[in-house]
Amino acid sequence: MAELGLLYLGMGVSGGEEGARNGPSLMPGGSSEAYKYIEDILLKVAAQVPDSGPCVSYIGKGGSGNFVKMVHNGIEYGDMQLIAEAYDVLKSVGKLSNEELKNVFSEWNKEELLSFLIEITADIFGIKDDKGEGYLVDKVLDKTGMKGTGKWTVQQAADLSIAAPTIAASLDSRFPSGLKKERVQAAEVFKSGGFGDILADQEVDKKKLIDEVRRALIWKGGCIIRAIFLDIIKKAYDRNPDLANLLVDPEFAQEIIERQSSWRRVVSLAINSGISVPGMSSSLAYFDTYRRARVPANLVQAQRDYFGAHTYERVDMEGSFHTQWFKLAKQSKI
């Protein structure tokens, strides 16, 4: 089609209603020649960030622009799940009111958690119900919808053998959220057995809990996931373009080391209280797996070789090996 003068350009767009009014983040992909024709227009339309200019950059060939938008949405799934879990812990264990939650998230939005999602979360907690009494957030049905981009992100990550535990956990959590009727019935069944929404009311220091949750949540304009954290990521890759994982960047690793105790305490508190925190706990599990030089995958590989002759490698010599495990096990029992 290019020979006929027809050039195609796809574009991921992020920013919602406000982005439409004040400038979105644009992710064009496709014909680089087509991009050159409309670059000036896009530079003016896109959101403008003081430190880095317009939120638009040519991504690459084919559908790469929309692919980046898909991943962006997947990250958004994870961010929203973590925020929802923080809300649940603060409300269910810390007994914070909506007004207190509004103040907490407003304060967080002035510090390292400064981001669009934290900002709008603070706004949400402060909105009164215009059709009744109380706060609107408490009247919203606890049933999360989705368009599919989170699922596609998890599928692509699996195809590329890349762990995306937080995004996968956030996707999985949306499925049972849709089973509202079943969850209500299950709550009645377990309530009769002595299980309430919260397994055990625990005495907690509100101020300390708020700080612990903030530290556990360690994570530019128009983009839905715009956050100070993105600047930290950019600096890490500026320092080392070949960085394999953010966790091993010295500055980022130090942040994790300083905060991981709070992270563990929040997850433990939630689990002991019967509160589901799949995003926080799966992220912690990934961290604990990645930071260990040796993990129990050796046993899994041995099992695979035992029942399926899938072979295994050794730590002390090169090559691929297969063992007659069943035969050796049978001999040892004689």
The first and second tokens of residue 258, run together, are: 């300083």
Partner residues linked to 203 by β-bridges? none
**Which of 61, 69, 85, 313 is an active site residue?**
69
Dihedral (CA of 102, 105, 111, 114) sign? negative
C-alpha–C-alpha distance, residues 122 and 90, integer Å: 13
**Which of 33, 76, 131, 191 is an active site residue?**
76
Q: Which of 31, 35, 26 is nearest to 53 (CA)?
A: 26
251 is catalytic: no
102 is catalytic: no
Q: Which residues contact 183 (CB under 8 A, 6 or more apart)?
A: 176
C-alpha–C-alpha distance, residues 317 and 313, integer Å: 8
Alpha-helix runs per DSSP H in the chain: 16-22, 32-45, 64-92, 98-108, 116-125, 149-159, 165-177, 180-191, 206-216, 228-239, 250-272, 278-290, 297-308, 325-332
Buried residues in 268-286 as b, exposed as e (16+ CB within 10 A):
ebbeebebebbbbbbbbeb
In whole angstroms, what separates CA 52 from the centre of its chain? 25
Q: Which of 153, 125, 119, 123 is nearest to 138 (CA)?
A: 125
Q: Return the active site residues.
A: 69, 76
